[in-house]
C-alpha cells in the first residue's frame, strides 16, 4: 500500500471526535483540505470491511450514459459500484428540486451484462431535517476507492442551509387557515457541519448512508431527523402493510419498516435505523407523500409521532436526534437495489440475521407455456392479509425469494388485472418451498384507426365490459390509475394507426375517439358501442374517425402539462406524447416543475410531427407563493435542468423580480399565473386584493426580502407583469378565477384567460381538458408550427378556453338601425362606437361541437360590481344578475350540419350561430360563456376528470363535466380615445 493510500485509509477509519467546541479545533484535514465531521467508520461496526471488487471514481465524459436514458449522472459525479450494483453521488452544486443540493444519491441500478442498457429510474435522496433544512455540500470526496480492497467510501461535506424548495409551514397555513408552527423551526439556521458517508461493500447490494452531524455551537440541538426522497422515473411505490398495496392512494402519511419502488427490471428499497442505536432498524414515518415525493422522519413511529412536532407543548417527540457540542451525532439508513421488490425484501430478510426459508415460485400458462408478459406474484401474509412483497417472474415464469418462516398466500395475475391464480404455502426455516401457479393466456383485441381517406391516425380506445362492472384490477398486482367500474382498458393508438390490447376472454364494447374535434366510432357513440366478443378468440376492429369541427386557422394547446421530469409525476414522456396525440391536441407545452423538458425528440421518434407540435416551458415552482408557467423557455445546459432559478442570495424572488428575470432569460416569453387560488395559488398565498393588486403577506414568512417600496397597506409582493391567467384547471372553469380575471379586465389589465389540464397522469386527469385554442392567422398545421405567432396571439387575447365546444366571437359596430359601420373584430380586438349617435355593438357567437356534445346556454358578460376579492380570500359568488344577456336552447334541438367527407361519406356536427346587441355608454369589455347549465350532455365517456367511488355501494363512476367554453374579451372604446382605457 502506498503512503498516500495508507493515509487516506487512516483518515477514513480515524477517531476524531471533537473535544470541546468543534469550531475551536479544526477537524482532520483530508486530501483537498476539506473540513469534515469525522467519524471512526471502522469502529462503528456498521460496515462490512473485507472483500474485493468494490470501486469508486469520478465520472469522466461519456461514462455517465451507462446507467440508462433516465439517469441524471453528469461528468464530475461519483460512481460507486461492485459486481452487483451501481450508485451515483451528485457533485456539489445547486439543483432545483425537492433535494436542492448535490452530495445526494441520484442514480442506482444493477450491474448489467455487456450491451444491455442501464435501467436506472431513481430520483434523488438527500438529508432533510427540522421539516425544512438540509445540507449544502461544498465537497464530495472519494475517501476509499476500493483499489486495496474493502468498502468504497465517498463523503459529502457542507453546512446547514434552508431547503428553499419546501416551505411546509406556509403550506400548513394555507391548509388550516391559520399559522401552525413546527417545534423544530425550519427557518432557523443551525450551527451544523455535516458529512454524509456513502459506503458500498464488495459483496452487498445495499448502499449504507451514514450522516455525521457536528454541532459547532454551544447548546445541544434537538433535531427532527430524516431524509427527503424524490421517486424519480417510471416506477411503482410500495410499503409493506401500508397504503393497500402498490401505489399511493389515500396515503399522504404512513408508518413503514421499509418501503421501495418497482421499476422495469429494477427495484429499490429504503429503511432507517434507530437514532440512539444505529444497528437496529426501526419504524419511521413518511409525511407529505405525493406521487413518490415525501419527507421521512426517522424513528417517527406513526402519524401521531409526526404530529407531535406541531406546536410547542409536546416534549416527547419521536424522531429526535440530539447533537451535543463536541461530539458527532449519527444517522444511518440503507438503500438497496434489486431486480424486483421480492429481491429487495429478500435482502432485508437476510440482513436481519434471523432465520429465513427459500420460496421458489413457478408461474405458467396453460399447457406449461411461459406466462403472459406482465405477470406478477403478490406475496401476502396469510393471517393479516397484508401485502409483504411483489415478485416479477423471469421469462420462464420463475421467482426465488427469501422470507421469514411462516404461512403465505400467493396471488398471480397480470399488472392492472385481477388475481388469476392463488396458492397457500408454508415456508420453514433453512428449507426450500416450491409453489406452482397456472394463469390463463389473454386474448388480443387489435384496433385499426383510419381517416376517411384511409390514412392511419392516432386515437384513444376505451374497452368496456358488456355485462356491467368489470372485475376490478387488484392493486396488489400493479399501481394502476383508477378507472370507472365498466372500463376494462384504455389504450392510445400511435400514428401508425394500430394498437393491440390484451384482455381476459370475455364480451366487450369498444369506443374509439380523438377528442372533441373528431367524430367518434361507432357512429352510435355514446349510446351504443361496437361489440368485441373475445370469448372464443382474438378480434380485429377497424374504426373510421373524421374531423367534424372546422377549426381552420386555429390550433389547440394545453399550456400546463406534467410528465416524468416533474417530481410529482412518474408518467414517461413517451406515454405523455401518446396521450396528447390520442386527444387531438395540436400543441403540447412542457411545464414540468423547475425542469425544461423538450418533447420534440419524442414526437420525432414516433413519426408524429404531422399531428403534434411542442413548446418548451418551465413551471416556476415556488413552495410558498405560487406556481408560474414560462413558455417558450429555452432548454439550457445548466445545473438547474435549464429552469429558472427563483431563489438567489438567500431569498426567494418577489414577483417584481421573478417576471422580469424570466423575460431577461427568454425574451418574448409568455408568463402565466397557474392555479392562482388555493394551496398553490399566488393570489391566495400573497394575500392579494384583486381590485388594486396590493398584497398583505409577510415577506419574511415567505423567505423573501422586504420590497423597498413596501407600505403598511401593500407589501408589494405581487406584480401585474404577467400575460396569461388560468381560469379553467381541468374540465370546469372556476367561478372564483373568472371573478378575479374579470376584475382585472375592468381595471384595464388585458390578460389572457386560458384553459389547461395540469395533468400529471395518463388517465386520471386527461390531458387536453381543458385546452386553449389560439388564432394562428391561418397557419394551423402542426408540422409548420410558428411559435412566434402562437405567443403573439396569446398575448393579444386571440384565444379561448374550452373543454369541448369550439367558439368564435366577433364584434361589429352597427348604426342605430342595425347597419354595419365597420368590419368586425375578433377576440382581443377593440370596437369604437359613438353612443351619442345611437351606435351599438353586435356580437356574433359561432359554436361548433361533435354531434353528441350538447349545451343549453350562451351567456354574455361585462363589467359588474361585486367580483372583487380581498386579502387573498376568494370570491366565488356568481349571481344571476351578473349575466348581461342569456340565450337558452333545447340541447336536443340544436342545429345539426352535414359535414362532407372524402369518398362521398358524411358526418354531422352541432353548429349554432347567434347574436347579441348591446349599447355601451362607456369603455367596457364583453365575454361569452357557452355551457351546459342543466341539460347539456356530459363529456364522459369521451373523457373524465377523475373517478369517484361511493363509500356505501363501492361503485366507482367517472366525474362527468358538462360542456363549457369561455372566450377572451372584445373591447369597446366608447369615449372617443381610440382604445379601451
306, containing H or E segment: helix 303-307
Tens of pLDDT, residues 502-530 = 999 999 999 999 999 999 999 999 999 99
Reply yes or no on whether the pLDDT at 605 is more than 90.
Answer: yes
Mean pLDDT of the chain: 91
> Quick one: what percent of the chain has pLDDT higher than 70?
94
540, containing H or E segment: strand 539-544
- CA 282 to each of CA 223, 258, 270, 271, 332: distance values in angstroms, whole numbers, following the listed order: 18, 9, 12, 8, 11
Reply yes or no on whether the pLDDT at 245 is more than 90.
Answer: no
385 or 841: which leads in pLDDT: 841
Strands (E) across 735-834 are located at: 752-756, 771-775, 799-802, 806-814, 825-826, 830-832
CB proximity list for 44: less than 8 A, separation 6 or greater: 210, 278, 330
Looking at residues 353-365, what average pLDDT do you find? Answer: 94
Where would I find the H helices in 159-283?
168-176
> What is the pLDDT, as a whole number, of residue 20?
30
* CA nearest to 630, candidates 652, 661, 587, 602: 661
Tens of pLDDT, residues 169-195 = 777 665 566 667 788 899 899 999 999
pLDDT bin (cut points 50, 70, 90) of residue 154 is very high
Reply yes or no on whether the pLDDT at 384 is more than 80.
Answer: no
> What is the pLDDT, as a whole number, of residue 903?
82
Tens of pLDDT, residues 689-733 = 999 999 999 999 899 999 999 999 999 999 999 999 999 999 989
pLDDT bin (cut points 50, 70, 90) of residue 5 is very low
Looking at residues 132-155, what average pLDDT do you find? Answer: 95
Tens of pLDDT, residues 211-236 = 999 999 999 999 999 999 998 889 99
> DSSP for 627-653?
EEEEES-----STTTT----EETTEEP
621 or 479: which leads in pLDDT: 621
In angstroms, the CA 96 to CA 648 distance is 12
Cα of first residue to Cα of last residue in the chain, in angstroms, is: 82
Looking at residues 547-554, what average pLDDT do you find? Answer: 97
Strand partners, 910: 849, 896
Strand partners, 756: 729
CB 141 within 8 Å of CB 73: no
> Quick one: what percent of the chain has pLDDT higher than 90?
74
CB proximity list for 951: less than 8 A, separation 6 or greater: none
> DSSP for 61-104?
TTGGGGG-TT----BTBEEEE-SSEEEEEPPSSB-SSSS-BSSS
> What is the pLDDT, as a whole number, of residue 290?
58
> What is the pLDDT, as a whole number, of residue 22?
28
Tens of pLDDT, residues 763-791 = 988 999 999 999 999 999 999 999 999 99
In angstroms, the CA 962 to CA 960 distance is 7
Tens of pLDDT, residues 953-977 = 888 888 878 999 999 999 999 998 9
Q: Cβ atoms within 10 A of the Cβ of 260, count?
A: 28
Looking at residues 641-659, what average pLDDT do you find? Answer: 91
> For 128-142, 411-425, 666-680, 935-949, which range has the lowest pLDDT when averaged over its residues?
935-949
304 or 606: which leads in pLDDT: 606
Tens of pLDDT, residues 287-325 = 766 556 688 999 887 778 888 888 776 678 888 999 999
Q: Cβ atoms within 10 A of the Cβ of 601, count?
A: 11
Which set of grid coordinates corresponds to residue 33? 483540505
Reply yes or no on whether the pLDDT at 345 is more than 50.
Answer: yes
CB 255 within 8 Å of CB 317: no
> What is the pLDDT, as a whole number, of residue 173?
64
Q: Using the CB atoms, write b or e for 230-241: b if 16+ within 10 Å.
A: bbbbbbbbbbbb
In angstroms, the CA 202 to CA 845 distance is 72
CB 843 within 8 Å of CB 916: yes
> What is the pLDDT, as a whole number, of residue 177?
61
pLDDT bin (cut points 50, 70, 90) of residue 951 is confident
> For 18-32, 560-574, 897-911, which range has the lowest pLDDT when averaged over its residues?
18-32
Tens of pLDDT, residues 437-472 = 999 999 999 999 999 999 999 999 999 999 889 988
> What is the pLDDT, as a whole number, of residue 764?
84
In angstroms, the CA 319 to CA 182 distance is 14
Q: Given the C-alpha cell 411503482, which residue does it identify? A: 236
In angstroms, the CA 683 to CA 873 distance is 8
pLDDT bin (cut points 50, 70, 90) of residue 9 is very low
Strand partners, 162: 133
Cis peptide before 632 (omega within 30 of 0): yes
pLDDT bin (cut points 50, 70, 90) of residue 393 is very high
Amino acid at each position: 500500500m502506498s503512503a498516500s493510500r495508507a493515509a487516506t485509509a487512516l483518515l477514513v477509519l480515524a477517531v476524531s471526535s471533537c473535544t470541546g467546541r468543534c469550531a475551536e479545533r479544526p477537524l482532520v484535514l483530508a486530501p483537498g483540505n476539506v473540513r469534515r465531521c469525522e467519524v471512526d467508520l471502522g469502529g462503528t461496526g456498521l460496515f462490512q470491511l473485507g472483500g474485493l471488487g468494490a470501486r469508486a471514481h469520478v465520472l469522466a465524459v461519456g461514462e455517465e450514459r451507462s446507467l440508462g436514458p433516465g439517469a441524471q449522472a453528469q461528468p464530475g459525479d461519483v460512481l460507486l459500484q461492485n459486481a452487483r450494483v451501481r450508485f451515483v453521488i451528485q457533485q456539489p452544486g445547486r439543483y432545483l428540486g425537492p433535494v436542492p443540493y448535490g452530495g445526494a444519491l441520484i442514480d442506482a441500478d444493477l450491474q448489467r451484462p455487456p450491451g444491455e442498457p442501464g435501467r436506472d429510474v431513481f430520483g434523488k435522496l438527500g438529508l432533510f431535517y427540522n421539516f425544512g433544512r438540509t445540507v449544502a455540500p461544498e465537497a464530495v470526496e472519494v475517501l476509499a476507492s476500493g483499489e486495496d480492497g474493502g468498502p468504497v467510501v465517498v463523503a459529502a461535506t457542507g453546512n446547514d442551509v434552508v431547503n428553499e424548495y419546501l416551505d411546509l409551514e406556509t403550506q400548513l397555513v394555507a391548509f388550516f387557515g391559520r399559522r401552525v408552527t413546527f417545534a423544530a423551526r425550519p427557518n432557523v439556521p443551525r450551527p451544523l457541519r455535516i458529512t454524509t458517508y456513502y459506503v458500498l461493500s464488495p459483496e452487498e447490494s445495499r448502499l449504507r448512508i451514514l450522516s455525521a452531524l457536528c454541532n459547532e455551537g454551544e447548546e445541544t440541538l434537538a433535531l427532527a431527523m430524516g431524509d427527503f426522497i424524490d421517486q424519480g422515473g417510471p416506477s411503482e411505490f410500495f410499503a409493506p402493510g401500508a397504503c393497500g398495496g402498490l401505489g399511493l392512494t389515500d396515503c399522504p402519511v404512513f408508518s413503514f419498516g421499509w418501503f421501495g419502488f418497482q421499476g422495469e427490471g429494477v427495484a429499490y428499497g429504503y429503511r432507517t435505523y434507530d437514532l440512539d442505536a444505529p444497528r437496529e432498524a426501526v419504524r419511521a414515518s413518511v409525511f407529505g407523500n405525493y406521487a413518490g415525493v415525501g419527507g421521512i422522519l426517522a424513528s417517527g413511529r406513526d402519524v401521531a409521532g409526526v404530529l407531535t412536532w406541531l406546536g410547542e407543548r409536546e416534549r416527547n417527540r419521536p424522531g429526535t436526534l440530539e447533537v451535543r457540542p463536541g461530539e458527532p451525532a449519527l444517522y444511518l439508513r440503507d438503500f438497496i437495489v434489486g431486480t424486483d421488490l421480492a429481491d429487495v425484501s429478500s435482502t432485508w430478510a437476510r440482513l436481519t440475521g434471523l432465520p429465513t426459508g427459500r420460496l421458489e415460485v413457478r408461474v405458467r400458462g396453460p399447457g406449461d407455456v411461459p406466462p403472459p408478459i406482465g405477470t406478477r406474484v403478490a406475496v401476502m401474509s396469510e393471517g393479516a392479509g397484508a401485502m409483504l412483497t411483489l415478485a416479477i417472474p423471469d421469462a420462464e415464469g420463475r421467482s426465488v425469494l427469501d422470507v421469514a418462516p411462516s404461512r403465505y398466500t400467493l396471488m398471480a395475475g397480470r399488472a392492472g388485472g385481477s388475481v388469476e391464480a392463488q396458492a397457500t404455502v408454508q415456508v420453514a426455516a433453512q428449507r426450500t418451498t416450491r409453489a406452482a401457479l397456472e394463469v390463463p393466456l389473454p386474448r388480443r383485441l387489435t384496433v385499426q384507426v383510419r381517416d376517411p381517406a384511409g390514412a392511419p391516425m392516432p386515437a384513444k380506445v376505451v374497452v368496456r365490459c358488456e355485462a356491467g362492472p368489470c372485475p376490478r384490477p387488484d392493486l396488489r398486482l400493479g399501481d394502476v390509475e383508477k378507472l370507472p367500474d365498466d372500463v376494462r382498458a384504455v389504450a392510445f393508438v400511435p400514428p401508425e394507426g394500430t394498437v393491440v390490447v390484451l384482455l381476459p376472454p370475455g364480451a366487450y364494447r369498444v369506443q374509439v375517439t380523438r377528442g372533441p374535434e373528431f367524430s367518434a366510432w361507432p357512429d352510435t357513440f355514446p349510446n351504443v358501442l361496437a361489440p368485441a366478443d373475445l370469448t372464443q378468440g382474438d378480434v380485429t376492429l377497424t374504426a373510421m374517425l373524421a374531423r367534424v369541427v372546422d377549426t381552420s386557422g386555429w390550433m389547440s394547446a394545453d399550456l400546463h402539462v406534467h410528465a416524468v421530469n416533474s417530481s410529482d409525476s412518474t408518467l414517461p414522456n413517451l406515454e405523455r406524447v401518446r396521450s396528447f396525440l390520442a386527444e387531438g391536441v395540436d400543441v403540447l407545452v412542457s411545464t414540468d416543475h423547475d425542469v425544461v423538458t423538450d418533447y420534440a425528440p419524442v414526437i420525432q421518434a414516433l413519426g408524429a410531427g404531422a399531428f403534434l407540435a411542442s413548446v418548451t416551458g418551465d413551471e416556476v415552482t415556488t413552495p410558498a407563493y405560487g406556481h408560474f408557467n414560462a413558455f417558450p423557455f429555452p432548454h439550457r445546459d445548466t445545473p438547474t435542468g435549464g429552469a429558472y432559478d427563483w431563489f438567489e442570495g438567500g431569498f426567494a424572488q418577489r414577483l417584481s423580480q421573478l417576471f422580469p428575470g424570466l423575460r431577461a432569460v427568454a425574451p418574448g416569453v409568455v408568463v402565466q399565473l397557474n392555479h392562482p387560488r388555493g394551496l398553490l395559488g399566488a393570489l391566495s398565498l400573497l394575500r392579494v386584493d384583486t381590485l388594486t393588486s396590493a398584497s398583505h403577506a409577510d415577506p419574511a414568512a415567505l423567505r423573501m426580502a422586504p420590497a423597498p417600496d413596501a407600505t403598511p397597506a401593500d407589501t408589494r409582493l405581487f406584480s401585474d407583469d404577467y400575460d396569461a391567467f388560468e381560469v379553467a384547471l381541468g374540465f370546469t372553469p372556476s367561478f372564483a378565477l373568472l371573478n378575479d380575471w374579470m376584475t382585472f379586465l375592468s381595471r384595464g389589465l388585458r390578460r389572457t384567460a386560458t384553459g389547461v389540464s395540469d395533468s400529471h397522469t395518463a388517465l386520471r386527469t386527461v390531458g387536453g381538458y381543458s385546452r386553449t385554442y389560439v388564432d394562428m392567422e391561418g397557419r394551423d398545421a402542426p408540422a409548420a408550427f410558428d411559435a412566434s405567432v402562437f405567443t403573439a396571439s396569446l398575448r393579444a387575447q386571440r384565444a379561448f378556453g374550452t373543454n369541448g365546444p369550439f367558439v368564435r366571437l366577433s364584434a361589429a359596430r352597427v348604426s342605430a338601425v342595425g347597419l354595419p359601420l365597420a368590419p368586425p373584430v375578433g377576440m382581443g380586438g377593440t370596437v369604437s362606437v359613438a353612443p351619442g349617435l345611437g351606435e351599438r355593438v353586435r356580437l356574433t357567437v359561432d359554436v361548433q361541437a361533435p354531434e353528441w356534445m350538447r349545451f343549453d346556454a350562451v351567456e354574455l358578460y361585462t363589467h359588474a360590481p361585486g367580483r372583487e376579492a380581498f386579502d387573498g380570500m376568494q370570491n366565488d359568488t356568481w349571481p344571476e344578475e351578473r349575466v348581461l344577456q342569456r340565450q337558452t336552447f333545447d340541447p336536443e334541438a340544436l342545429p345539426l350540419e352535414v359535414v362532407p367527407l372524402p369518398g362521398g361519406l358524411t358526418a354531422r356536427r352541432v353548429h349554432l350561430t347567434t347574436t347579441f346587441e348591446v349599447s355601451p355608454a362607456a369603455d367596457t369589455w364583453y365575454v361569452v360563456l357557452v355551457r351546459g347549465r342543466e341539460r347539456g350532455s356530459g363529456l364522459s365517456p369521451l373523457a373524465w376528470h377523475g373517478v369517484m367511488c361511493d363509500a356505501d355501494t363501492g361503485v366507482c363512476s367517472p366525474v362527468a363535466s358538462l360542456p363549457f367554453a369561455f372566450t377572451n374579451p372584445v373591447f369597446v372604446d366608447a369615449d372617443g380615445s381610440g382604445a379601451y382605457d
